[in-house]
Structure 1
């Protein structure tokens, strides 16, 4: 009796991190959608824009607790979006070679709130 309950709790715990990130988010000048991509992976689609830049990225990653690191590759270079859960909002920082995904005048860094 205890063993099936432990298995159910473990299964639920492994599903919760991915579900906690899924949804549609926005910040001033940008938006982000996170959805399942299969095999425990999540797909992150983000768009940003201003008068001086436009950016679009489609990255994939696996959640680990309150953190998701999604990566996209362009011209053999990797752009990483580190996404952390802060209550209902997401805090995003980028690292690596992200300029091909948005140009030199903007980035995906910021706090995204649910739509």
Structure 2
């Protein structure tokens, strides 16, 4: 019984660690893509409040999971009014643990 409990706990721990790693990988890829697409200056940083990563099940064959990343960028217009622009990126994770940008809005 102890072995079963240890095995179950280990599997659960590994699954959580793997999901966290996937989320961080997709988050980093999205930040780089937004910097490139929006021509943001070198050294631009984002904090956790600006980025939201969610995971969805996929109905597409060969695609395991879809990650939706929303990145909010705060800026000011010429009058000094604060503007917030939110970009939505969708990444698809294939069976072979590769990620592909599916859309950028």
The 3 A distance-change label for structure 1 pair 14 and 21 is same
The ranges of structure 1 where at least 4 consecutive aligned residues each deviate by more than 2 angstroms after the TM superposition are 20-24, 55-60
TM-score, scaled to structure 1: 0.47
Unaligned runs of 5+ in 2: 1-5, 56-66, 77-81, 93-98
Q: Which has the higher contact order (CA 8 A, sep 6+)?
A: 1
Specify the structure having the higher radius of gyration (Cα).
2
Q: How does 1:1-115 map to 2 (within 5 A)?
A: 1=6, 2-23=8-29, 33-34=32-33, 44-47=34-37, 55-56=39-40, 60-65=50-55, 66-75=67-76, 76-86=82-92, 88-93=100-105
Unaligned runs of 5+ in 1: 25-31, 35-43, 49-54, 94-115
Which structure dedicates a bigger proportion of its chain to strand? Answer: 1
Aligned residue pair count: 71
Q: CA RMSD in A?
A: 2.9
